[in-house]
């Protein structure tokens, strides 16, 4: 466990060297969030309520989504260095450590996510709060726990995308696809409440929704959550985290037994 703490600290320190990129991220996410919010405000101008969401709810979720882009990194291209390391064979060095591959990268990525949340997520949300009327959190404590689970889930999904590199080597195609499907299914682009109800109900149960839609509903105190409460939402997130990390551990075992570390 100690070693994971030390790896977490190094992940945090390592990413804190990327300050300019972080600032650029805040700017992009704020601008995109503002445009998105104005479109939604126009939409809600015509109908004051859609599937239990009013304009403030929708705009708040837009900025939660924008604030979580840097934390989850499910939008951009391959975002775990592990992808490159698998392609070049440097993953050999990771496999030579007396620590499981997944927990090593989880610890490091949580360090990165912490930095991204503090320096990219929070500032983006603050810009949103300055420009628009955002809702206050309904259950602050549950929201914090939910955000922790978001960081774990964001890692677990990207880790699985990345491991496919052991078989297909060039994972960029998969990332392009998932970089589009994931954020939509997460409710990051548009709250799932704006989708037709049957579609939204299915999407809510998939792992991507646990990255934005579920935490947003916990923040907003919606009764569309599983079991109608924040606790139900947290249980769904924790369930997916367990399943995905379990799957990740299993796939890692298969990958390292059957598959080849590249290069001399």
Ligand X SMILES: Nc1ncnc2c1ncn2[C@@H]1O[C@H](COP(=O)(O)OP(=O)(O)OP(=O)(O)O)[C@@H](O)[C@H]1O
Which residues lie near Mg ion (CB under 5 A)? 264
As a whole number of angstroms, the distance between CA 177 and CA 162 comes to: 13
Q: Is 262 in the site for ligand X (CB under 6 A)?
A: yes
Q: Is the Cβ of residue 24 or residue 259 nearer to another protein in the bound state?
A: 259
Q: Which of 20, 46, 96, 136 binds another protein (CB under 8 A)?
A: 96
Q: Look up residue 119 and give its two tokens.
A: 């320096």
Please state the φ and ψ torsions of residue 167, each to the nearest 5 degrees: -100, -40
Return d(Cα 67, Cα 180) in angstroms, integer. Answer: 17
Q: DSSP string of 227-258?
A: GGSHHHHHHHHHHHHHHHHHHHHHHHHHHHHH
Stretch that binds another protein, among 11-19, 27-35, 53-61, 239-247 (CB under 8 A): 11-19
Rounded to whole angstroms, the Cα distance separating 244 from 253 reads: 14
Residues 14-33 that bind another protein (CB under 8 A): 14, 17
In whole angstroms, the minimum distance from the beta carbon of 83 to Mg ion comes to 24
Residue closest to Mg ion when measured from CB atoms: 264
Q: Please give the residue ranges that form the binding site for ligand X (CB under 6 A).
A: 260, 262, 264
Q: Please give the residue ranges that form the binding site for another protein (CB under 8 A).
A: 2-3, 5-7, 10, 13-14, 17, 89-90, 92-100, 256-257, 260-261, 263-264
């Amino acid at each position: 466990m100690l070693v994971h703490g030390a790896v977490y600290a190094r992940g945090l320190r390592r990413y804190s060297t990327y300050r300019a990129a972080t600032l650029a991220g805040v700017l992009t996410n704020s601008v995109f969030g503002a445009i998105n919010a104005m479109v939604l405000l126009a939409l809600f101008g015509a109908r004051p309520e859609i599937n239990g969401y009013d304009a403030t709810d929708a705009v708040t979720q837009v900025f939660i989504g924008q604030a979580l882009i840097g934390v989850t990194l499910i939008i951009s291209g391959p975002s775990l260095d592990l992808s490159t390391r698998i392609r070049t064979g440097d993953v050999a060095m990771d496999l030579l450590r007396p620590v499981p591959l997944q927990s090593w990268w989880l610890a490091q990525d949580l360090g990165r996510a912490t930095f991204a949340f503090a320096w990219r997520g929070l500032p983006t949300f603050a810009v949103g709060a300055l420009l628009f009327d955002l809702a206050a959190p309904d259950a602050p404590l549950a929201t914090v726990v939910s955000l922790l689970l978001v960081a774990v889930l964001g890692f677990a999904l990207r880790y699985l995308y990345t491991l496919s590199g052991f078989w297909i080597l060039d994972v960029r195609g998969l990332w392009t696809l998932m970089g589009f499907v994931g954020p939509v299914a997460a409710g990051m682009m548009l709250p799932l409440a704006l989708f037709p109800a049957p579609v939204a109900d299915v999407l809510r149960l998939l792992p991507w929704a646990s990255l934005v839609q579920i935490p947003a509903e916990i923040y907003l105190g919606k009764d569309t959550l599983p079991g109608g409460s924040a606790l139900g939402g947290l249980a769904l997130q924790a369930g997916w985290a367990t399943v995905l990390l379990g799957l990740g551990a299993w796939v890692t075992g298969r990958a390292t037994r059957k598959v080849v570390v590249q290069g001399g």
